[in-house]
Chains A and B, each alone.
Chain A
Amino acid sequence: MATTHARAAARLMISPSVILLLGWMLIPLCMTLYFSVLRYNLLMPGDTPFAGIENYQYFLTDPAFTTALINTLVLVVGVLVVTIVGGTLLALLLDQPMWASGIWRILVIAPFFVMPTVSALVWKNMFMNPVNGLFAHLFKALGLAPFDFLAQAPLLSIIGIVSWQWLPFATLILLTAMQSLDSEQIEAAEMDGAGALSRFRYITIPHLGRAATVVILIETIFLLSVFAEILVTTNGGPGNASTNLTYLIYAESLLRFDVGVGSAGGVVAIILANIVAIFLMRAIGKNLDA
């Protein structure tokens, strides 16, 4: 509902964003596609002959690929589960009447401000180190053998670190949603004879659905490309135990300087991300209207 004049202005105002994002998407995408069919290694200057699907074959049949794919999924799903369950519990807690709630909320939010490289380093060295880490001290104090987290359970440890970073985000969104719940609805349910548990089950949980979708969408965007945490803690190891797709492609292209294989991996990652994206966009698109 607007005049043609306004519509023309709108088109003009939206075009810089569209053009920039289109360029940002298409130019590198085309280059990646192009490189992915070349035999192109930065360590071997000279010709970059056409290689067909060789790079794809190499990348997809590399056992590291399957491992990385599974690791990526485990990482994303693991962190999502921890943060949504933990976030709901924390939000429920912070939604209770209490003193100085602002202070506790700040403490809970704080990890979100910590850059990934810092949190990875701090957790790796000061907590998970099998000799001098706090966990090692704690285990010894309890009479247990120290556990080398990053060597023996590298992926789980990384899930732990990343969950710590994203828990505040999930908590905040769910808390905000909880506080927007109409108290009359709760009171109505109470009048209808619903106990605390049924009220949570039938009123609060459905109300949080939209917020949870937002958490899933945004976290997935960031979790699919977890990188710094792996680079700093395990370098993808031991072996490929904590290598996700992002790290694998990074290793191919910038550690082994194989632009061709790295690009093929990039194309695969883009395709996989798009599958996830279509799925998520549908869900969020529906929820955006509500």
Chain B
Amino acid sequence: MHVGGRQSKKDLNFELNLIPIMDILSVCICFLLLTAVWVQVGAMQVNQALDGTAQGQTKNPPAIWATFRADGGVDLVLKNGRGSLSSTVVNQSGRLAWKQLVDFTKQARRRNPELQTAIVVPQRNTSYSDLMNLMDELKTSNIRDIGLSPI
């Protein structure tokens, strides 16, 4: 910035003071960094599982019943569908073999293309993590409506 001095011509340069802008941006960044949410929590939506008895004259849709066992495995049964189908997801040293669930779902859907429902029946010692993983695998297999049965 010109301070004093003689000028024969009027200086056409205009210099903008950027210091206040920098201050405002720094304050905005500090505030937004402190209030930003970096971990977004999602949700696994589950409906209430009815007892499976028919209501009135309506026919129950085909559904996969996934029942947890005491040893941690899961028994899968197709109910109210065309043909009977059953399988078991084995617990191999603390890990469930989800591929068996995927294969079962594919078979069930081949016989019942309208299959969209699953009912999960846990046990008292069923881990919450295993329960969520089972629901996650069912949702990945395009089973939209999942019901959770109380003990």
Q: Are these two chains actual partners, yes or no?
A: no
B residues at A contact (CB < 8 Å): none
